[in-house]
Structure 1
Amino acid sequence: MTATIGKKQLSRIVLKGFKSIVECDLELSKINVLIGANGAGKSNFIGFFRMIQQLLEQNLQVFVSRQGSPDALLHFGRKTTEQLEFRLYFGNNGYFAALAATQDNRLMFVEEFFWWNLAAEYELGKGHFETKAFSLTGTKIHENILSAMQGWRVYHFHDTSDSAYVKQRHGINDNNYLRPDARNLAAFLYLLRENYSSSYQKIVKTIRLVAPFFGDFYLRPLPQNNEFIELEWFERGHDIPFKAHLLSDGTLRFICLTTVFLQPEGLQPETILVDEPELGLHPYAITVLASLIRTVSKQVIVSTQSVELLNEFEASDVIVVDRSEGCSSLRRLETQELEKWLEDYSLGELWKKNILGGRPSR
C-alpha cells in the first residue's frame, strides 16, 4: 500500500522540454525508485532538481553557463524546443515557470507564478533572469512551498578518490545540513554527536551492521586549527584513530547514506534525492539501505541500476524510464498488471526478463 505523502512533499510533476524529457506528467508517492537502461534519462530527471536548487539560490544563469548554454538544457536545443516548462504540485498548491533561451545564451523567465488551493495565483511577471519567488517571503506560499523546495537535496556520493572533499579538512561550523557530496560529513556528525545523541548512536550502530570492524568516529577540532575538522574513526577494540582514506569506498559511501537517512527528522529535507546509491555496496549493505529508505518519514526519489535494491521495494514504488528516438518517457508501474507475475518472480527478475521495461532498446 502506498504511503501518504506530506503536504510539503511533491505530489505531481509536469516537465516539458528538459534535456531528453520532451514531456513528463508523473504522480509522485513517498518512495519513488527510478529504473532504466544507461542513458535512458534517469539522471536527467534527477538533474532537473539540481537546476531547481540553483534557481532558488539565485544561481540560474551560473548553472546555465556551467551546462554550456541553454541548448544543453532544452530538448535538442532551442531550434527544436522553444521553452522549458515545469509545474510542481504540492497537493492543491504549486509552482509554475516557463524559461526560454535568449540570444546572449541565458534563460529568461517568460512566465512564473505560484498557486494556492487550485486558485489565487501569485503572478511574478516575466522578462527576469532570476526567480522572483522570494518576493513572497512571509506568505503561506513561502511557509509551505518555498521552504520545502529550498530544502531539497540531491545527494551524490560517487567520488571517494583520495582527493574527494569528504576526505579533506573542512570548516567545523559548516553543519546546517549535510551537503550533497558530503564534504562536510565530519562537521555534520560532530553536530549530531553533540546535540542529537540518539540519532548519532543510530548512525554508528547501523554502520556496524555493514562494517563490523567499525568502532566509532573520532570527531574533534583539528589540534593545529580548531576552526577545522577532518573525518577520523576508530576500529572496534582499538584507540588509534584512522583517516577517512583507510575506509573502503563502499564503506565510506554507506556512511554517507546512513547519515542522510538517519539524521534527525527535523534536519531532513522534505524530499531526499539520491543518484545510484548502490554504487560499490555489498548486497547486504543494499538490503540495509533499502530498509533505511522505507522507514524514513520523508519523501525519497532514487535512481538505480541495482536488481538487489529494486527487489526490496513494491511495484507501486517503481518508475520506469525508457528512451526511444532520443526521448525519455517515465511511467509508474501498474501493480495490478503484475500481480500474476509477482506470484512467481521478484521485481528484479521481471526487470531482467524485460517485463517491466527499462532495458536497452535498439
Structure 2
Amino acid sequence: MITRLQLSGYKSIKQLDIRLESINIFLGSNGVGKSNFISLFSMLRNLYQGNFQNYVEVKGGADSILHFGKKHTNSIELDICFGSQARDNNRFIVEFESAQDSLNIKSIDTAFLEPIHNKWHQKNFERNVKESSFADISYGQAFYVNDYLQEFDVYHFHDTGDQSPMKGKCYVDDNYRLNRDGSNLAAFLYFLQEKHPKHFKRIEMTIRSITPFFDRFVLQPSRLNEQYIQLEWKEKGFPDAYFNSYHLSDGTLRFICLATLLMQPEPPKTIIIDEPELGLHPVAVNKLASLIRKVSKKSQVIVSTQSINLIDNFEPENIIVTDRKDNSSTFRRLQSDELSSWLEDYTLGDIWGKNLFGAQPYNM
C-alpha cells in the first residue's frame, strides 16, 4: 500500500507530505481540496496508460492542473512510497513541467529497496517525454510499481440518471474488473455469480439488509443477443414481475455498486472512492462503513466525504482533516488523545459539528 506521499504544485495543493494508513477518510467542506487529492490518482492512472496528454487537455490544460496556473507554478513534483508500514520498499518519483498549454513529463524514476543489504535499486526513464509507456513491454516496464499504478482507479458511482451507463446493457465478457463508473456492473456480478458464488450470495445478503424489497438478482445473457447482459432482479412477493436497473432508486443502485466493489473476492490493492455516501440512507452509510473496515484488512482505502454519519463509524486516526490555509489545501490526521475528553460524551460527528478540529467552511 501507499505509506507516504509527497506532492507539490498540484491544483490547490502547494505542498504536501503525508503518511497514509489502511483507512484514510478525507473530511472537509466544499472546495478545500479533497477531490483534488483524489483526482491525483486519476492522473496517475492515465499516465500509466499512456493517456497523459489527452487527460491534461480534457481537464483544461496546464493552467487547470498547476497550482494557481502556470503563471505561479511551473512544475509538479510527486514522490510515492509503497510497502509495509515498517519499511517503504518501493518508490515512484515523477516531475511534470509546464509546456505551453500542456505538461511534459520531465523525469520518471522508480526504485526498489532491497531489505537484506538496505540498498536502493533505481530505474530511470527517458527525460522530456510527452507520454509514459509503463504498460508497453517493449519500452521496459516500471516493474517495481506497475502492480500499484495499474489499479489507481477512482470509483465514483454518482451518475444514476436515465442515461447512466450502469443502467444499460453491457458486454457480458467485460468482467475483468468493476469499471470506475459501474458501467459493467451486470457483467461483473454475473462473473461473480458463475465463478465466485459464495461472494455473490454475500453481496445479495448485504443488499437485502438495507433494501427490504430486494429478493435476488436474475443475471443471464440477453435472450436476444447473448453478447450483452443487463442488471435484472426480483422483488419480494412478486416472483413473476420483471424489474431491471431502471426500477432501482439512485441510492440502491449506488449501494449495489459499492457492495460489489468492496466485497469482491480479489479487491484492488488501493480502493479510492469519491464521496460514496451520496444518496444513501443512514443505515446504508453505516453498512458501507462496515464494508470499508472489513476490506481494509487486505486493501488500502482512500475516501473523500462530508458525511457525519460515515465518520461516526471510524476512529479519529482514520480521519484526515482537509482545510484551506494561505490559498493552499492542508491535510492533518486526527489523533484520539487530542479529542479524548470530548469522545467520552460525544461522537466524532458531534465533535466535528462543534468545529473542534476544523474541516468546516468557516475555517477558511
State the TM bucket, normalised to the shorter chain: over 0.9
Deviation, structure 1 residue 343: 1.5
Percent identity between the aligned chains?
43
- Superposed, 1:290-301 pairs within 5 Å as 290-296=289-295, 297-301=298-302
For residues 158-213 of structure 1, the C-alpha deviation after alignment (integer angstroms, 9 at most, x for no partner) is 11111101001111111100000000000000000000001100000000000011
SS of 2:227's equivalent?
Answer: strand
Describe the SS at the equivalent of 2:105. Answer: strand
* AA of the residue aligned to 1:114: T
The 5-angstrom pairing of residues 239-254 of structure 1 reads 239=239, 240-254=241-255
Q: Which of 43, 59, 62 does residue 67 from structure 1 map onto?
A: 59
Q: Hey, what's the Cα distance between the residues in 2 that align with 1:137 and 1:295?
A: 39
1:130 is matched with 131
Tell me which amino acid in the other structure corresponds to 1:39. Answer: G
Which amino acid counterpart does residue 58 of structure 2 have in structure 1? Answer: R
- After TM superposition, give the deviation of residue 147 of structure 1 in Å: 1.3
CA deviations 1:330-349 (Å, max 9, x no partner) are: 11112221222211221111
- CA shift, 1:224, in A, is 1.7
Distance apart, 1:134 and its partner CA: 4.5
1:238 and 2:238 matched: yes
In the alignment, the residues of structure 2 paired with residue 292 and residue 354 of structure 1 have an alpha-carbon distance, to the nearest angstrom, of 28
| Change in CA separation of 1:139 and 1:344 when aligned onto 2, cut-off 3 Å | farther
Structure 1's consecutive aligned runs of 4 or more residues displaced over 4 angstroms after TM superposition are 134-141
Letter in 2 for 1:305: Q
Partner of 2:288: 289
1:119 and 1:135 mapped to 2: Cα distance?
Answer: 24
How many residues are paired up?
Answer: 350
Residue of structure 2 equivalent to 1:98:
95
Q: Are 1:272 and 2:271 counterparts?
A: yes
Between 154-163 and 231-240, report the one with greater CA deviation. Answer: 231-240
Is the Cα contact below 8 Å between 2:46 and 2:55 reproduced in 1?
Answer: yes
What's the CA shift for 1:135?
A: 6.7
Following the alignment from structure 1 to structure 2, what is the Cα–Cα distance between the partners of residues 135 and 228? 30
In structure 2, what is the Cα distance between the partners aligned to 1:282 and 1:134? 41
* Match status 1:114 vs 2:110: yes
State how far apart, in whole Å, the 2-side matches of 1:289 and 1:320 are.
20
Change (3 A) 1:211 1:342: same
1:215-234 superposed matches below 5 A: 215-234=215-234
SS at match of 1:32: strand
Give the 3-state SS of the residue equivalent to 2:106 in structure 1.
strand
**Alignment check: 8 A CA contact 2:110 2:145 kept:** no
SS at match of 1:11: strand
**Match of 1:289, as an amino acid?**
L
Shift of 1:324: 2.6
Q: Closer, same or farther in 2 for the Cα pair 1:134/1:191, shift >3 Å?
A: closer
The amino acid across from 1:186 in the alignment is A
Deviation at 1:24, TM superposition (A): 0.9
2:329 corresponds to: 328
User: Root-mean-square deviation (CA), in Å?
Assistant: 1.6
Could you tell me which amino acid in structure 2 is paired with residue 311 of structure 1?
D
Contact 1:124 1:133 in 2 (8 A): no
Partner of 2:154: 154
Alpha-carbon displacement from aligned partner over 1:54-102 (angstroms, at most 9, x marks no partner):
1111000000010111110000111111101111101231100000121
Q: Provide the TM-score with structure 2 as the length reference.
A: 0.93
CA distance in 2, matches of 1:353, 1:136: 54
SS at match of 1:92: strand
Q: Does residue 85 of the first structure (1) align with residue 77 of the second (2)?
A: yes
Consecutive unaligned residues in structure 1, runs of 5 or more: 1-8
Q: Give the counterpart letter for 1:43 in structure 2.
A: S
TM-score, normalised by the number of residues in structure 1: 0.93
Q: Which residue of 2 aligns with 1:199?
A: 199
CA offset at residue 141 of structure 1?
5.5
Aligned residues of 1:218 and 1:241 also touching (Cα < 8 A): no
Asked if residue 34 in structure 1 is aligned to residue 22 in structure 2, the reply is: no
**Which residue is 1:3 aligned to?**
none
